[in-house]
Chain A
Amino acid sequence: MVVAVAAAAASSTWLTCALLPRQGWLHGIQEPTPGLQWTNKKRCCTRKAGLTITAKLELKPPPYPLNALEPHMSQETLEYHWGKHHRGYVDNLNKQIIGTELDEMPLEDIIITTYNKGDILPPFNNAAQIWNHDFFWESMKPGGGGKPFGELLQLIERDFGSFEKFVEEFRSAASTQFGSGWAWLAYKANRLDVGNAENPRPSDEDKKLVVVKSPNAVNPLVWDYSPLLTIDVWEHAYYLDFQIRRPDYISIFMEKLVSWEAVSSRLEIAKAQATEREEEEKRKQGEKEVGNSDNEAVKMYVDSKSDDSEAE
């Protein structure tokens, strides 16, 4: 949930919160309180910053002035894209959720709840688009582009063969998303590609980077991936600057706008969360096993008791 922040100091803490992908569904089994872990983190952040949570979502500005991405993405585009489209999603979601149980929920919980496992409910489009656009502005920076570095580059080379091959795949996904939508680089933690299947022999290599595309408002949070980078390929994102030439827009995005720092820090968070989740699962597995042996002990006690009563 976006809270109106005047102080710049609070915004960095807040930014970290906004970058946290949610966790919730484990192996396709629903947790009773899906947002719990993420919610705690979010409240933690806002308390530290000394802010109170308000029900009303606010439009968060990009982390740079609206003309800062010129000449690659025009100020006019930012004025409409952020000032009208993104703002519209915020205003419309507020109207939709006021007085409902979605009110007061963190944004990512609203997204997962209203995605409703694919049977999409009306607030989903607005909620997801708010999140997507926040994520998109933060995926870019003035003077962006170039190459990633460090562990991110290593993983890209491991999972795509080379940085160039990754770029090729990302460009292809962005170009072939028919109609409106998004292309993503995401971190996929330890999941088989089959529904609820549990990976019986998990290893670090199962955790990998993938390029995916999604239509309209859908984003990888609903598939339980951790998004790392996105490009908006709705026509409104590029039409004023590029008209039909989506491939040129994609090139400029990759060459001049991508913030690899943002992608790297998201990767770090995603990996930490994946590890934390694994440990949580191991703990739960352990508790379950202890619980089973307790049950057997009770059973034996009951049996011996009934033997006694028969004897009497």
Chain B
Amino acid sequence: MAIRPLLSRTLGLTQTLTHSHSHSHTLTQLRGLQTFSLPDLSYDYGALEPAISGEIMQLHHQKHHQAYITNYNKALEQLEDALAKGDSSSVVKLQSAIKFNGGGHINHSVFWKNLTPVSEGGGEPPHGSLGWAIDTNFGSMEALVQKISAEGAALQGSGWVWLGLDKVSKKLVVDTTANQDPLVTKGANLVPLLGIDVWEHAYYLQYKNVRPDYLKNIWKVINWKYASHVYEKECP
């Protein structure tokens, strides 16, 4: 069922620490530098069909997400080197690669948990406190879905559309980020409950240029249980 994570690179030292964070990526601790590896999906690639094709899921997970992780690890290694040498030029130059690839890793790690097969409750609207908060903040579930879909469709170029929680004000927000910027770049107190990838690679093989159809169908496999879980943790 689940795909085994690709083995982290070992750079000589023996200590391997594998544990699941709230983000559930596996970390390997070597000489103080943590490297990252591809997290498992908790469902088969084909399990989200017909909303998202198995072909897309496999490419998206095994190629795109893996590439972000590989490049993130590489950039972190280079950063560690530059920091040790006090090479400020290189430290600054590496920031965009770290933001882009690190952001890609963060965002996709959330995304896989935002999706689940229909058989596992995909598409079932949230009950409990999140459902109530959605009605309070947006009027209704339908209004929220429409808002997220509209903002996702209108996003120019590549990026993400988010349902976020401001953990200080406890308000729900809908926002977008460009490229691989994580939601936190839009507000330090923002926690992502739900993110939808609107990069073309997320839908093109199946939906081609018709991003609105992708956004219409993805709701059938959205994992509201995960979103509720994150919400309840911040708003007990």
Contacts and interface: CB of A to CB of B under 8 A. Distances in A.
Interface in B98-150: 100
Contacts of B100: 178
B64 interface: yes
A239 B204 CA distance: 7
B38 to A, nearest CB: 14
Contacts of B209: 80, 84-85, 88, 236
B74 interface: no
Given A80-B208, A178-B179, A178-B180, A244 B201 contact: yes
A243 B158 contact: no
A234 B205 CA distance: 14
Interface residues on B, range: 20 to 34
Contacts, number: 52
A294 B64 CA distance: 68
A84 B201 CA distance: 17
B64 A84 contact: no
Contacts of B157: 179-181, 215-217, 234
Contacts of A178: 96, 100, 179-180
Interface in B144-169: 156-159
Nearest to B60: A244
B106 to A, nearest CB: 15
A36 interface: no
A243 B63 contact: yes
A179 B63 contact: no
A216 B208 CA distance: 18
A80 B200 CA distance: 13
A103 to B, nearest CB: 22
Contacts of A85: 209
B205 A125 contact: no
Interface string B197-212: 0011100110011000
A243 B55 CA distance: 11
Interface string B177-192: 0111000000000000
B156 A239 contact: no
A243 B62 CA distance: 12
Interface in A210-229: 215-217
Nearest to A239: B204
Interface of A: 80, 84-85, 88, 125, 178-181, 215-217, 234-236, 239-240, 243-244
26 contacts: A85-B209, A179-B159, A179-B178, A179-B179, A179-B180, A180-B157, A180-B200, A181-B157, A216-B157, A217-B156, A234-B157, A234-B200, A235-B200, A235-B201, A236-B200, A236-B204, A239-B201, A239-B205, A240-B204, A240-B205, A243-B63, A243-B205, A244-B63, A244-B64, A244-B67, A244-B201
Interface of B: 59, 63-64, 67, 96, 100, 156-159, 178-180, 199-201, 204-205, 208-209
The 3 closest A-B pairs by CB, nearest first: A235-B200, A180-B157, A216-B157
